[in-house]
């Protein structure tokens, strides 16, 4: 009896504390109703916690820490697939991710149409080497169904100590195949800029066409790209293929800084719109951005291009800076703010949507290519598995492009066409001196 009285008293104290907090907030508002302040709903929550604490059969599961964390996980998960509650360990892992390192399989996942879906397998990771593709649906993890699994719980299982195995059951929507994978977790160090080079003359012909691939957008991406472009320009680059296929995005500021490599200073590349004025923002290239020649550009995208990759592709398309080649992108165009809580945990929740310069919404729509060039699942698997191989030779790469990469070939043809047209349209200079 004493225990119940103490529990009731403690629960009431919690509620009074919360109530006073809301009272303080409500003094700043203009006479809000009870429904607006949430007084009645907070009392229901306090009562629920009290009842669970005093009567639930397993006392090991009824700590205030566990109950409150579970409530916040459910609350955030109910909003949309991209909002989530992160405990201190999850929050630290997210910070490590933006710094280009984490332990896991190398799969970027999201919930699409209620199913745990692979946005993209990252290059040089166990997932990419095994042949997992964008759009694959993860049906089971270690034999456990993902049907009712929260996104963060799935991420926590996929990541972990390097060397440990994870069993995945994958359903491939394009072919309806069910595939089983047994993958070893590894330390994933993502090099955000890869493959910078001039394309072989067999493809580029008389022109010097550069190529560079962006794996994701993290802190060093813009600086790495800047150095790669400088080197390509020293080699006489006349045009560029920017490969954003299977790029899951990353940091917004990094994506904007990448756009600054190709667009004039103070150019708006993306805007956000939310409920409050602070979420209505235009993001523009730096006023001191390096100016480069306006060489012809083609951007490669596919279903695995998401978030920051869609921002870059959308901006370069809308501002007529590049031709977009490939397939419609993933359609992940919402803004998540991350707010750390006093105990080291954090809330990540959607506050706005991204809009391209022409005010097209990215969320659920994606960026449609100017030149549609689909690839088969077999072509994708061969291409991205080969990229993750440590044994790919220059001759093998040439054969791979010719037989497995129609998107690259279409991009090269488009650039060559632009340069041929520019040459034929240039004013003729009379070489005879008068």
245 and 302 in contact (C-beta within 8 Å)?
yes
Q: Nearest Cα to 309, choosing from 218, 404, 209? A: 218
367 and 113 in contact (C-beta within 8 Å)?
no
Dist CA 176 CA 319 (whole Å): 39
240 and 297 in contact (C-beta within 8 Å)?
yes
Transcribe 5-20 into DSSP letters.
HHHHHHHHHHHHHHHH
108 and 248 in contact (C-beta within 8 Å)?
yes
240 and 225 in contact (C-beta within 8 Å)?
no
Q: Determine phi and psi for 289, rounding to 5 degrees.
A: -65, 145
Q: Nearest Cα to 336, choosing from 353, 322, 349, 318? A: 349
Dist CA 138 CA 125 (whole Å): 17
185 and 104 in contact (C-beta within 8 Å)?
yes
352 and 314 in contact (C-beta within 8 Å)?
no
Dist CA 113 CA 135 (whole Å): 11
Residue with structure tokens 């590894």? 186
C-alpha angle 390/392/394, rounded to 5°? 140
Question: Which positions ≥6 away from 433 have C-beta within 8 Å?
Answer: none
Dist CA 67 CA 70 (whole Å): 5
Catalytic residues: 307, 318, 332
């Amino acid at each position: 009896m004493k225990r119940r009285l103490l529990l009731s008293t403690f629960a009431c104290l919690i509620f009074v504390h919360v109530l006073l907090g809301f009272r303080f907030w409500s003094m700043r508002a203009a006479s809000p109703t009870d429904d607006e302040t949430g007084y009645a709903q907070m009392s229901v929550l306090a009562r629920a916690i009290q009842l669970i604490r005093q009567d639930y059969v397993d006392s090991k599961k009824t700590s205030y820490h566990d109950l409150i964390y579970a409530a916040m996980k459910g609350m955030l998960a109910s909003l949309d697939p991209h909002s989530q509650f992160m405990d201190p360990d999850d929050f630290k892992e997210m910070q490590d991710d933006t710094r280009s390192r984490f332990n896991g399989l190398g799969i970027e996942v999201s919930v699409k149409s209620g199913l745990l879906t692979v946005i993209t397998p990252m290059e040089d990771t166990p997932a990419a080497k095994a042949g997992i593709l964008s759009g694959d649906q993860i049906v089971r993890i270690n034999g456990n169904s993902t049907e009712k699994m929260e996104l963060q719980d799935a991420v926590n299982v996929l990541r972990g100590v390097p060397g440990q195995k994870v069993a995945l059951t994958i359903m491939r929507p394009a072919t309806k195949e069910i595939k089983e994978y047994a993958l070893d977790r590894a330390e994933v160090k993502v090099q955000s800029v890869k493959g910078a080079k001039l394309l072989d003359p067999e493809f580029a012909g008389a022109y010097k066409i550069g190529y560079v691939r962006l794996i994701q957008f993290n802190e060093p991406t813009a600086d790495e790209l800047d150095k790669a472009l400088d080197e390509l320009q020293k080699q006489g680059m006349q045009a560029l293929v920017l490969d954003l296929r299977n790029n899951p995005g990353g940091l917004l500021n990094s994506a904007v800084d990448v756009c600054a490599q190709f667009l004039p200073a103070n150019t708006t590349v993306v805007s956000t719109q939310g409920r409050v004025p602070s979420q209505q923002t235009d993001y523009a290239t730096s006023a001191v951005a390096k100016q480069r020649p306006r060489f012809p550009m083609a951007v490669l995208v596919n279903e695995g291009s998401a978030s920051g990759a869609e921002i870059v592709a959308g901006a370069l398309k809308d501002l007529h800076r590049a031709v977009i080649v490939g397939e419609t992108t993933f359609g992940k165009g919402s803004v998540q703010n991350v707010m750390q809580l006093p105990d080291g945990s954090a809330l990540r929740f959607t506050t706005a949507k991204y809009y391209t310069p022409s005010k097209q919404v990215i969320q659920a729509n994606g960026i449609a290519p100017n030149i549609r060039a689909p690839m088969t699942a077999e072509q994708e698997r061969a291409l991205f598995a080969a990229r993750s191989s440590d044994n790919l030779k220059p001759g093998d790469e040439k054969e791979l492009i010719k037989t497995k990469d129609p998107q690259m070939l279409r991009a090269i043809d488009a650039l060559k066409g632009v340069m041929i047209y520019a040459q034929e349209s240039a004013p003729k200079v009379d070489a005879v001196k008068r």
